[in-house]
Amino acid sequence: MTDIRTGAVDTRDEILDLVARYHRERHVPRPFDPARDPVRYAGRVFGEAEMRYLVDSSLDFYLTASRFTEEFEAGVAEYLGRSDALFVNSGSSANLVALTALTSQKLGERRLKPGDEVITVAAGFPSTVAPIVQNGLVPVFVDVRLGDYNADPEQLRDAVGPRTRAIMLAHTLGVPFDLDTVMDLVEKHDLWFVEDNCDALGSTHRDRLTGTFGHLATSSFYPAHHITTGEGGMVYTADDELARIARSIRDWGRDCYCAGGENNTCGKRFAQQFGSLPYGYDHKYVYSHLGYNLKATDMQAAIGCVQLGRLAEFGAARKHNHARLLAALRPYADRLLLPVAPEHTDPSWFAFVITVRPDAGFTRADLTAFLEANRIETRGLFSGNLLRHPAFETIERRVVGDLVNTDVVMNDTFFVGVYPGIDTARLDYMIGAFGRFMAGERATGGRIAWPAPAPADR
Amino acid sequence: MAVVRRISCRVLAVTDHGERVYTVALEPSIPVPSFKPGQFLHFALDPYDGAGFWPESRVFSIVSSPRIRDRLTITYAAKGAFTGRMEQELVPGATAWVKLPYGEFVIDDRRDAVLFAGGTGVTAFTAFLQSLTSDHASRVLLFYGARTSDLFVYGPLARSMAAEVPSLTCHLVCEATHGRLSVEAAWPAIDPLADPLFYLSGPPPMLGALTAQLLERDVLADRIRTDAWE
């Protein structure tokens, strides 16, 4: 970069070239050693460009949102065809911002009020449901289908009651839920729809990207996800009013939309009337919501700029790995319920999810213990049944049906990775391990002590 | 409000309309982000490296159509120190920075609309006028005032759009010959409209006077939108 005051080329390029060299020396993956290396279910996949951007941003030392945040937000908005994208510090924060935005008084009678119901599922991640409870709303839980692990469409229809005002669902592990049914209910009953797209960036339903159906939708960029910024998430929408509200909730609840370090962007900072404040009270400190500070940094956004450009590459790798695993495990379909992509969907898979059938002759614990003993990382499908967790046992809720499949998920379901860091050698090793287990081999000895992991949990 | 972008621009042309009123055509270094007619941009003269603190800037309505992604146009009257610098420094080939889009002064095109524009205040409406099509259903009345007939910078645009769009009617009011814009003079044209929204853009005294006149005619305050800046 050129110093705009002197016109001289500074040391920045030299530093960035050294960063690239450092990446080549320290971070290029080495060949897989099946006797020693774990096969993680997820992790950061990055190259020298990500490190260069990160350091480039740090050299700006602006720290809070600046040029990289602008570029990243604009890139995500353009990719999804949304008018607005707001970078936040996590996918969970994105969900909190999105749902809370719908409670804004600026929406008048359309806003969600305490006691209103929001349809969701219990077989998922807690931060899809927690914002509902945190806003004084009542979650209505429906069961999931085994195979795609998304809300049962029939139960979704049955769940709509007189106080139902919204639907908030996640596309489970990258598999789009039944958007035909959801959009039909949204239209028919005039419901709000928050689309938790945290695990599904790049998935499509009828050739349309998920995340473009909801009034608001969210992404997570934690390292387990399709692209990463370390910590990070995004809220996106095509609705100007919702975007303005969401920005306020992200930024302390303030009414002003100036970026950090900027003043009087609206041109009327001292010329407006709000509430019973004196006329002209400084707009920077006028609060129209009970908000949070959920902003992320420009360094995180810098990584995201590069990662977004690699989304197609990453998505293709996930699909390739998933397809290979599916083909390899199909002979065991009598004992393992294998993942299903519903009609009209093209998932950008988050993971490879398996349910051990009741008559398999072994349990989930047997299989995951064997895989873990062979350094193949496994995960349960997040909470299993959220309603059986201490924090959720006593929440006010309505339940449709008996959530029998949700309990199956809790007891018998797990997933392994398909992320782009799983190369052919790792995939072959994983397939071989499944084969050995199915041939009767079992784990012996205690639990494996994993090497220090890269952050990957959702 | 779409994602705000900060963009370096090259000055392509400067048109001098007289009386220190200018139109500046800019070539942005990246495609102009989506914006809505009536929104504005921040315009900076000082060098900016793309990071760090945004330099001193002023706001101007975006004159050009949202459909045009490779050009931006603003019109300004040189009145203060900053616009005086613009008058001196903006020549073809010069570099400037803009950030956009901002603002909520967006016309609801589903409702009948009455637009009052004073001088360069008409720039808040030019993008909207250019967005109209011949099948536009709602009625649009534009009352466009200027001190002299030479200062109807966007008079030709308004007239040509009115010729193409049956639902658009334009009234050009020359202050030197017909006095200032007033609701009283405009009311015979406004009266037949069904519960229109009023959009006012121009100098603060004009906004205050027209707002008061509308309220006197029992127009509800929430039907009056003003493009008021400090």
Q: Please write the tens of the pLDDT for every residue from A156-188.
A: 999 999 999 999 999 999 999 999 999 999 999
A266–B102: do the CB atoms touch at under 8 Å?
A: yes
- Collect all residues of chain B within an 8 Å Cβ-Cβ radius of residue A244: 1
Nearest to B145 by CA among B110, B113, B120: B120
- Collect all residues of chain A within an 8 Å Cβ-Cβ radius of residue B49: 1, 4
Q: By the CB < 8 Å criterion, does A270 face chain B?
A: yes
Q: What string of DSSP letters covers A101-119?
A: HTT-GGGGGGS--TT-EEE
**What's residue A266's pLDDT?**
85
Q: What string of DSSP letters covers B35-50?
A: --TT-EEEEE-S---S
Residue-level length of chain B: 230
Which value, in Å, is the radius of gyration of the alpha carbons in chain A?
A: 23
Q: In which residue are the tokens 């203060």 written?
A: B80
Q: Render pLDDT for A374-433 as a digit per residue (tens, 0 to 9).
A: 999 999 999 999 999 999 999 999 999 999 999 999 999 999 999 999 999 999 999 999
**Complex ipTM:** 0.85
A358 has a pLDDT exceeding 90: yes
Which tokens sit at A58? 């740090």
- H or E element that contains A15: helix A12-26
Q: Please state, in angstroms and rounded to a whole number, the distance separating the CA atoms of residues B185 and B131.
A: 27
Q: By the CB < 8 Å criterion, does A58 face chain B?
A: no
* Main-chain phi, psi angles of B97, to 5 degrees: -120, 145
B40–A267: do the CB atoms touch at under 8 Å?
A: yes
Tell me: cis bond preceding A358? Omega within 30 of 0 counts.
no
Q: Is the backbone of residue A91 left (phi > 0), alpha (psi -120 to 50) or beta? A: alpha
Q: By the CB < 8 Å criterion, does A36 face chain B?
A: no
Confidence of residue A447 (pLDDT cuts 50, 70, 90): low
**What's residue B50's pLDDT?**
80
Confidence of residue A10 (pLDDT cuts 50, 70, 90): confident
Which residue type does A225 have?
Answer: H
Q: Is the backbone of residue B43 left (phi > 0), alpha (psi -120 to 50) or beta? A: beta
CA-based nearest distance A406→chain B, Å: 39
B2–A62: do the CB atoms touch at under 8 Å?
A: no
**What's residue B139's pLDDT?**
96
B59–A267: do the CB atoms touch at under 8 Å?
A: yes
Q: Render pLDDT for A246-269 as a digit per residue (tens, 0 to 9).
A: 999 999 999 998 888 888 888 889
Considering A171, A205, A225, A226, which one is annotated as catalytic?
A: A225
Confidence of residue A271 (pLDDT cuts 50, 70, 90): confident
Q: Please state, in angstroms and rounded to a whole number, the distance separating the CA atoms of residues A61 and B120.
A: 40
Nearest to A275 by CA among A285, A260, A265: A285
Q: Please state, in angstroms and rounded to a whole number, the distance separating the CA atoms of residues A451 and A37.
A: 9
CA A38 to chain centre: 24
DSSP 8-state secondary structure symbol assigned to residue A90: B
Q: Render pLDDT for A125-136 as a digit per residue (tens, 0 to 9).
A: 999 999 999 999
Select from B47, B54, B230 the Cβ nearest to the Cβ of A268.
B230
DSSP 8-state secondary structure symbol assigned to residue A418: -
B48–A4: do the CB atoms touch at under 8 Å?
A: yes
Q: What is the mean pLDDT of chain A?
A: 95
Tell me if residue A225 is catalytic: yes
Q: Please state, in angstroms and rounded to a whole number, the distance separating the CA atoms of residues A265 and A263.
A: 6
Nearest to B158 by CA among B208, B146, B60, B228: B146
Residue B185 CB neighbour total at 10 angstroms: 14
Q: Please state, in angstroms and rounded to a whole number, the distance separating the CA atoms of residues A36 and A50.
A: 28
Which residue type does B49 have?
Answer: D
**Percentage of residues of chain B with pLDDT beyond 90:** 91
CB contact set of A396 (below 8 Å; sequence gap of 6+): A133, A138
A67–B228: do the CB atoms touch at under 8 Å?
A: no
Rounded to 5°, angle at Cα B219 from B215 and B221: 75
> What is the SS3 string spanning B153-219?
CCHHHHHHHHHHCCCEEEEEEEHHHHCCCCHHHHHHHHCCCCCCEEEEECCHHHHHHHHHHHHHCCC
- Model's pTM, two decimal places? 0.92
Sign of CA dihedral A115, A116, A122, A123: negative
**What's residue A3's pLDDT?**
58
**What's residue B49's pLDDT?**
86
Confidence of residue A444 (pLDDT cuts 50, 70, 90): confident
**What's residue A286's pLDDT?**
96
Mutate to test the interface with B, among A12, A61, A67, A256 (most CBs of B within 10 A): A67
**What's residue A452's pLDDT?**
63
